[in-house]
């Protein structure tokens, strides 16, 4: 690692690194990835252990505060989050301003940004207490806002949060309960939802997290920063990949059509890529994809759709790609999004909600990273340089003479 911060001041030199492939923009003690080994740790704990033994709310505590909570700390945190799950009633009007066929990610970007207008008593970034309340508010309210975006898109009444349910069950309840029928959350499905949240909770300096940090570096309020993260996450090269991956698997449709799509993915004249494949950092199997694959099989089994054609296509596509020289040479493996869509589809979410669910989960990662940055005495405004390749200085010509 070369620390080049003083290079420009001393010599006028700077580095050129489009896409930040080899530039660290910050120090962080939150998440560790070893892309060659396929290893992911939250605060030092392997993701496989957290997926197996912990739950999303405990992982939130771990990411935010750095240590696993004891029982009293966990009970207190749980209570603080649960108490903040309601959103201001006036928010309902804000939703009604959107076209009813708007993409739920477009709605979410708007409503998260609008939180700064509703909760301006927690926008002073210099006050640690306000930072803390803003963090709790976002972790607590994002599921409510996401569920409202879903309900609005399907034309059903909004469902209020329930304090007697755990985080994932409450979210499923707000999405799928309807006034006319009793809705009971299946604990196994809730566990799968919780697992998806845990696996997506943080991933160090990915595009959306870097966006949150860059926005926060100007001392913008936390809600504005998280809204910027949501907007960035929407892109199909990032969080939009789960939606794109399931659409692709459906488009392939049957196992016999896989070779045609593999051929297209390898053709440099064809813009098609295997969605849910490849990763900037993992040059080995994404550890989250392994957990996700097992969860997909379990959820489909519980729901009695074990012969799901989409899962069959996914498994066969993975098998063929992992034996293909093109993918082997470039170290392209399934990423977290390859199997998550299969699970979410089976639970009953439309593809347009997939990235919204990713945003709900990643909110804690964004906030933890934002808090870490704000508290850093070395904090500086993020201000990348550029390599200018435009015109050299020239004289203005009046319009009549051009």
- The catalytic residues are 279, 337
Asked if 276 interacts with ligand ACO (CB under 6 A), we say yes
Task: Specify whether the CB–CB gap between 123 and 132 falls below 8 A.
Answer: no
Only segment of 84-92, 121-129, 170-178, 331-339 that touches ligand ACO (CB under 6 A): 331-339
Give the one residue of 108, 212, 231, 274 binding ligand ACO; rule: CB under 6 A.
274
CA distance 237 to 343: 20
Distance of CA 386 to the CA centre of its chain: 28
Asked if 113 interacts with ligand ACO (CB under 6 A), we say no
Stated as kind and residue range, the H or E segment containing 326 is helix 325-329
Asked if 273 interacts with ligand ACO (CB under 6 A), we say yes
CA distance 105 to 141: 15
The number of residues that bind ligand ACO (CB under 6 A) is 18
CB closer to ligand ACO, 152 vs 327? 327
Asked if 143 interacts with ligand ACO (CB under 6 A), we say no
Give the one residue of 40, 291, 311, 336 binding ligand ACO; rule: CB under 6 A.
336
Q: Closest by alpha carbon to 123, among 224, 38, 39? A: 224
CB closer to ligand ACO, 99 vs 330? 330
CB closer to ligand ACO, 228 vs 332? 332
CA distance 53 to 232: 31
CA distance 203 to 373: 16
Q: How far is the CB of 18 from ligand ACO (least distance, A)?
A: 10
**Residue 53-92 contact track with ligand ACO, rule CB under 6 A, x = bound:** ----------------------------------------
Residues 224-253 that bind ligand ACO (CB under 6 A): 237-239, 241
Residues 277-306 that bind ligand ACO (CB under 6 A): 277-280
Asked if 196 interacts with ligand ACO (CB under 6 A), we say no
Spell out the residues 6+ positions from residue 49 whose beta carbon is closer than 8 angstroms to its own.
Answer: none
Asked if 332 interacts with ligand ACO (CB under 6 A), we say yes
Give the one residue of 337, 361, 371, 374 binding ligand ACO; rule: CB under 6 A.
337
Sign of the Cα torsion 163, 168, 173, 175 reads positive
Q: Closest by alpha carbon to 344, among 180, 166, 171? A: 171
- φ, ψ of residue 144 in degrees (nearest 5): -65, -45
Helix (H, G, I), strand (E, B) or coil at 21: coil
Q: How far is the CB of 336 from ligand ACO (least distance, A)?
A: 5
Spell out the residues 6+ positions from residue 5 whose beta carbon is closer than 8 angstroms to its own.
Answer: none
User: Rule CB under 6 A: which residues touch ligand ACO?
Assistant: 237-239, 241, 265, 273-280, 330, 332, 335-337
């Amino acid at each position: 690692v070369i620390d080049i911060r003083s290079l420009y001041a001393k010599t006028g030199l700077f580095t050129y690194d489009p896409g930040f492939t080899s530039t660290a923009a910050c120090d962080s003690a939150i998440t560790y990835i070893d892309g060659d080994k396929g290893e992911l740790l939250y605060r030092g704990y392997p993701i496989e252990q957290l997926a197996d033994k912990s739950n999303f709310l405990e992982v939130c505590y771990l990411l935010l505060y750095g240590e696993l909570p004891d029982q009293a700390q966990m009970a207190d945190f749980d209570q603080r989050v649960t108490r903040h799950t309601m959103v201001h009633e006036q928010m309902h009007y804000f939703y009604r301003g959107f076209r009813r066929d708007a993409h739920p990610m477009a709605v979410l970007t708007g409503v998260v940004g609008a939180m700064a207008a509703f909760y301006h008593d927690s926008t002073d970034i210099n006050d640690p207490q306000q930072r803390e309340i803003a963090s709790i508010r976002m972790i607590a309210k994002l599921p409510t806002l996401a569920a409202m975006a879903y309900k609005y898109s399907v034309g059903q009444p909004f469902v209020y949060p329930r304090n007697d349910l755990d985080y994932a069950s409450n979210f499923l309840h707000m999405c799928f309960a309807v006034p006319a029928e009793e809705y009971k959350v299946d604990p196994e499905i809730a566990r799968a939802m919780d697992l998806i949240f845990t696996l997506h909770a943080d991933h160090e300096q990915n595009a959306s997290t870097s966006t949150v940090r860059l926005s926060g570096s100007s001392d913008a309020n936390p809600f504005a920063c998280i809204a910027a993260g949501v907007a960035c996450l929407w892109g199909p090269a990032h969080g939009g990949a789960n939606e794109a991956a399931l659409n692709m698997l459906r488009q392939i449709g049957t196992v016999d059509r896989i070779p045609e799509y593999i051929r297209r993915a390898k053709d440099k004249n064809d813009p098609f890529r295997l969605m849910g494949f490849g990763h900037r950092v993992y040059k080995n199997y994404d550890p989250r994809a392994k957990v996700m694959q097992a969860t997909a099989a379990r959820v489909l089994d519980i729901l009695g759709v074990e012969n799901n054609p989409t899962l069959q296509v996914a498994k066969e596509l993975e098998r063929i790609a992992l034996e293909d020289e093109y993918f082997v040479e470039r170290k392209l493996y399934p990423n977290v999004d390859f199997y998550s869509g299969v699970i979410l589809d089976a639970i009953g979410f439309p593809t347009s909600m997939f990235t919204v669910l990713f945003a709900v989960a990643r909110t804690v990662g964004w906030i933890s990273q934002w808090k870490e940055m704000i508290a850093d005495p070395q904090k500086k405004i993020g201000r990348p340089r550029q390599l200018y390749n435009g015109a050299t200085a020239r004289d203005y010509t009046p319009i009549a003479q051009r």
